Chain A
Amino acid sequence: MTTTAPASRAERPYDSADLSSNAFWSTTAAERERVFAELRRERPVSWHRPVENGLFEDPNDQGFWAVVRHADLVEVTKRHDDFVSGEGIVFESMPQELLDAGQGFIAMDPPRHTKVRRLLSSAFTPKQMARTDERIKANARRIVDDIAGKSEIDFVAEVSALLPMHNICDMVGIPDEHRRTVAHESQYAGGWRDEDLMQGADPLTRLMESTGTMRAIAAELIAARRAQPQDDLLTALVQAEVDGARLTDEEITSFFGLLMVAGNDTTRQSTSHGMKALTDFPDQRAWLLEDPDARMAGAIEEIVRWATPIMTFRRTAARDCELGGRQVTAGDKVIMFYASANWDTDVFDAPERFDLSRSPNPHVSFGGGGIHHCLGNQLARRQLAALFRELLTRLPDAHVVGEPVLGTGNFFHGINRMTVRFTPEQA
């Protein structure tokens, strides 16, 4: 492999593959995989022109490195001193105000990240999740109860969106009256490129508006918890100290925003993609239902690999260094492509096959094992297991009708609407 001379960003030639256009991000995962496969095979770390139609004009944005192989993605994740998160975690450059408001500790670096993360970890430990499991199962039951008498639903609105909404809101401590607002508004942070969601609104204006709505709800709840502590995550944040100091309302608001986006919009996509795959591969569904107790955990791993709900995260090079034989310069954007890593034939046999018995299944849908590894991974797994068990056993003929309406954008692998039909449950 050749090492390029450390040319300045502006002089570095762009790769011929297109990962930057709106057209690329508006097509299907299968179409994008054709491009990723070529890059994984021939140019695993490649330099690309800036993504089209960014949120605002950033004259310093000259492009990004694309990391498409599983091994390289894991390496970037683990080299958190070389590749930092503090300058943003998505493709696009962002106004600082939005960075501060929405990205919380996911866009922090050590040492502060370590301390804040530890604070929140207490709510998401394996043992804490086991204690929450009854609540998660009850929420799955409640969702299926509400659809069971019907025969046709929009699966996204009536199932996929509600499952994570109830569970994350239970944990954080968000009362019913705010849940739908919070779940809806949280979509804009990652979905401002989605035409269907935006309905013609100006992205920056709508993002600011959604941030304002979330801040107002967070402020109300923070004040309520200060006055009267409850047994929830918000109370834990209000009472917590880091380096001998309480968290500021700004910080708590920012964590609140992150928990809502990360908690709502990820599992939503995995649930929808899972339902679609279980429709498209009836043999896999039948195999799962032969012994759901023993097979569900492994099946969820494959559903999460298949869905890859978050397609990209960004790091920024903190110093000049090498990556996959290429010379990276301090300040360069480095983008990790999770769907590509999850289809890497160096790691997965026949990745194009939806195989619920796949083992081992070292997918990177929750991250490559670095310090930002998905805090809610146990929560997500438990939710998906509870939901599919409830759904597939009570509504065994539930199936997707027609083609789902896919979201557009480079962050969430979104499904916006998807019709599901079934024989109503006998009361």
Chain B
Amino acid sequence: MRIVLDESKCSSLGMCESVAPAFFEVGDDGALAVLQPEAAEDQRALLEEAVAACPTAALRLEP
């Protein structure tokens, strides 16, 4: 599964980072980095929670 970030929507709130800090990090420049774009299937529940936590719908999982 792949984590896809739409940078035009992201406002760097860090809500995803607070749910899944191993996968997301808002850097010192205020830009969100997806630390591991490819994730194992056993991480799906956690990542779905992180995606749902985003108020600007900037994240999605594929497939």
Task: Name A's B-contacting residues (CB within 8 A).
Answer: 77-78, 80, 110, 113-114, 117-122, 124-128, 369-371, 373, 378
| Residues of B with C-beta under 8 A to A371 | 11, 13, 55-56
Partner of A122, one of B18, B28, B56: B28
Beyond A371-B55, A371-B56, whether A126 also contacts B11 by CB under 8 A is no
Q: How far, in whole Å, are A119 and B13 apart by their CA atoms in the complex?
A: 11
| B29 (CB) vs chain A CBs: closest residue | A122
Instruction: Name 15 extra pairs, CB < 8 A, besides A121-B11, A373-B55.
Output: A77-B55, A110-B11, A114-B11, A118-B11, A118-B12, A118-B30, A120-B30, A122-B28, A125-B12, A125-B25, A126-B18, A126-B26, A127-B25, A371-B11, A373-B15
Q: Knowing A125-B17, A371-B11 touch, does A114 contact B26 (C-beta < 8 A)? A: no
CB pair B13 A373 closer than 8 Å: yes
Of the A-B pairs whose beta carbons lie under 8 Å apart in the complex, a sample of 13, sorted by A's number, is: A110-B11, A113-B11, A114-B8, A117-B12, A118-B11, A118-B31, A120-B30, A122-B12, A122-B29, A125-B17, A126-B14, A126-B17, A371-B13
- Are B30 and A114 neighbours in the complex by a CB distance under 8 Å? no
CA distance A78 to B10 in the complex (A): 14
Say how far A361's CB is from chain B's closest CB, in angstroms.
14
Q: How many whole Å from A230's CB to the nearest CB in chain B?
A: 16
CB neighbours of A378 from chain B (8 A): 14
Chain A residues lying within 8 Å of B27, measured Cβ to Cβ, are 122, 125
Cα–Cα distance between A119 and B18 once the two chains are bound (Å): 19
For the complex, what is the distance from the CA of A110 to the CA of B30, rounded to whole Å? 17
Residues of A within 8 A of B26 (CB): 121-122, 125-127
Of B9, B10, B11, B15, the most chain A CB neighbours within 10 A belong to B11
Contact across chains for B30 and A122 when beta carbons are under 8 A apart? yes
Q: Which residues of B contact A78 (CB under 8 A)?
A: 55
**Shortest Cβ distance from residue A87 to the other chain B in the assembled complex, whole angstroms:** 20
**With an 8 A cutoff between CB atoms, is B37 at the interface?**
no
Note all chain B residues with C-beta closer than 8 A to A120.
Answer: 30
A interface footprint on B13-39 (CB within 8 Å = 1, 0 otherwise): 111011001000111111100000000
Hey, which chain A residues are within 8 Å of B21, CB to CB? 126
B5 located at the interface, meaning its Cβ lies under 8 Å from any Cβ of chain A in the complex: no
